[in-house]
Chains A and B, each alone.
Chain A
Amino acid sequence: MTQQRLMSAAPEPGALLPVMGALLFVGMMGLGYYYNVTFVQIGLTDLGRRRLGLAADEVAGVMAVLALATSAVALATGVWLRRSGGSRDMILKLRLAAGVVVAQTLLTVATPLIDSPQAYLGWVLLASLALGVGVPATFGLTVDLVRVRWRGAAAAAITAIAYVAAPLGTGDWTIEHFTRQLSWLMIPGAVAAVALAWAGGPLLRVWSQQHARPEYGQGRYVRPTRDGRPAPRGRLLLALVLMFGVFFVDSFGFLRLLETPVYMANAWHAAELGPRLAIAIAHAIAALIGGVLYAKLGERHLLIWVFGLFALVHLMYGIDARLGGSGQALMTPLLYAVAVSLYTVVTFALWADLSTPDTITVHAALGVALSAWTATFLSTALALRWEAAGVSLREHLASVEAIALVAFAGLLLLALLPRRRVAR
C-alpha cells in the first residue's frame, strides 16, 4: 500500500489523545528500561554471585545466554510480525507488550524461589523469551504513539526517567531490594497494561490508526526509492554498525570499571546521596540535550560526541589508574553519564526513524538484538578473557579509549565527506 493511500485513509484525531499516547509510550519504555538497567543488569548478577555463590565467569556465561537468547527471540518475533502484518497492528503489539509485562512481573516476584544454578538458568531462559518478544512489540509501538517530530523529546524523557531513577533509587544493589522495589511498580503496571490492551476501546481505536498518518508512520530517514517503496537505504546498515560500536565500547569499559570497587564506591554505588544525585542530574541534563540535538542535528552528530566522550572518559580513568586509582574525581563518572544518556536517546528514537509501520518491528529487533545485546555479549566474553589473561586495568581502559577514538575519527571523517542533497 502506498503512503498516499494510507494518508487519505487516516482519521484526524483530537489534540489530547496523541499526547496521551506519547505519554503512555514514554511511561512504558521508561519503566521497562529502568527494569533493564537495574534488575536485569545488576540484580541478576548479584543473584548469581552472592546468593547462589557462582563464580564470575559462570554468571557471565548465564548473562551471555540471556543476551543471545533474547536476540534470537527478538529477531524471530520481529520477522514474524513483519510477515504476518502484525507490525501494523497496534492492538496486537500492545497486547503482546502487556503479556510481556505480566510475564516479567511473575518472574520478578518468583526470584526468591531461585535456589540453584539450574533454576537460575531456567529463569533466565524464560526472561529471554519475554524480553525477546517485548523488544519488537514495544519499540514497534513508536510508529503508532509518537509523532516523528516528538521522537527526540520522547526518547529524552524515557532516558531521563530511567537514569534519574536508577542512581537515586538503587543504593542497595541486591536482588532482594530490586525484587521488592519493582514488584510494587510492576504489579499495578501489569494490571493497568492488561486493562488498557483488552478494554481500551475508543483510545485504542484512535491510536491504532495513527501509524497511517505520515507524521507518525514515515520515519524521518525513510526516503522513497525508485520503485516507490519507502526504505531507509544504507543508513540502517550504518546505524547498526555505529550502535554496535557504541554499545560495545560502553559495555567493554564499564564491565572492567564494575570490577574495580573504588570506581563504583565513589560514584554509582556511593553510600552518600551526593555523588548519585550528581550523576542523576548529569543524566537528566544530557538526556534533554540529546533530545534537542537528535531532532535538529541527527544521530551521527550525537554519536560523534558519544565516541569522543567515551575516549575522553577512559583517558581520564586511565590517568587515575596510573596515579594509583583513588577514584575520587566525580567529573569522570559525570561525563560517563552524559555519554550514556546521549546514546540512549538515539537508541529510543533511531529505529523508528529508519522504519515504516511495516518494517518497524524487524528493524527494532535487528537494532536491539544485533547492536545492543550482541555487543554486550561479545564485550562480556572479551572482558572476561582479558581479565583471565591478566590484562591490567590500565591496558584495558587504554584499549577501550583507542576503540572509541578510532570510531570518533571515522565518524568525523564521514561527517566531513561531501554529502548528497536529497530532493523532496
Chain B
Amino acid sequence: MAMAVFRREGRRLLPSIAARPIAAIRSPLSSDQEEGLLGVRSISTQVVRNRMKSVKNIQKITKAMKMVAASKLRAVQGRAENSRGLWQPFTALLGDNPSIDVKKSVVVTLSSDKGLCGGINSTVVKVSRALYKLNSGPEKDVKFVIVGEKAKAIMFRDSKNDISLSVTELNKNPLNYAQVSVLADDILKNVEFDALRIVYNKFHSVVAFLPTVATVLSPEIIEKESEVGGKLGELDSYEIEGGETKGEILQNLAEFQFSCVMFNAVLENACSEMGARMSAMDSSSRNAGEMLDRLTLTYNRTRQASITTELIEIISGASALEAAK
C-alpha cells in the first residue's frame, strides 16, 4: 500500500518529463487508471528511442548520398576541366560580350534535375532573372530556355509566360558531346535570337561555384559588331580560305560555338551540382550526428531519472516497512 502511494507521489513529482504531457491535463484519477491499464510504471523512453533510430537512418542515407556524389564528381570533374579547351579558342576569336545590347535575347538557364544540392539552382535562377531585367525594355524581347527540372519549377511560378523551351532528363546517361550537340541544335532551331546568354555554375572547387554567363551572338550581330569596330573589329583581318563568304563562315562558327559552349556549361554545371550535393550532404550528416548526440543525452538522463525514482521507491518502501516493525 505504501509503495503505491509513493509511486503515485513520484509520478506527480516528475510531470515535466512525462512522455505524454496531455495525461497531466486530464484528471489524475483517469490518467492513473489509463497508465495502470497499459502497465506503464515509469517514464517511457520509447519516443526518444524511435526518434534516435530515425535520425540514425537519415544520417546513414545522407552519408551514402555524399559518397555517391563524391564518386560521380570525380568522374565528371576531369571531363569538365578538359572541355574548357573547347570554348577558349572561340572566346579568343569572337570575344565574350556579356554587355551587348540586342533586341532578342534568349537566356539559357542550366540547372539540375534533382534537388538536395545546396543553392546552385537558386543562384542560376537569380542570375537569369537579373539578366531578364537588364535586357528587357521597349521593343526588346527576352525568352527563357530552361534545362533541368529544378529551375523549371522555380521559373514556372513567376515567369512562365517567357519560357519558350524546357529540357529535362539530360543527366540520365553520362554526358557526351553528341547529346549536347543534338540539344543545341534543337534550341537553335526552335528559338529566334540575337544573343544567347547561357547561365550556369562554373566549377571552381568542391565548395566554390561561380554563377557564370556565357554569351553567344548570332552571325548577323557578329557581322554588325565587327563593322562598327571595337572588340570584334579585328575579325576582318582574318583571311577566308575557299569559296565561302564571311556570312557563311560566321554562321557555322556561331552554331559550333553554341554547341561547344553548351557542352562545357552542361558539364561544369553537373560538376558543380555534384560538389554542392557533396558539401550539403556532408553538413547534413554532421547535423544529424549533433542531433543524435543531443537525443542520446536526453535519453540517458531520462533513463537515469527513472532508475533513481525506482531506487527511491524501493528504499523508502523498505524503510517504511522497517518503521512499521
- Physical interaction between A and B: no
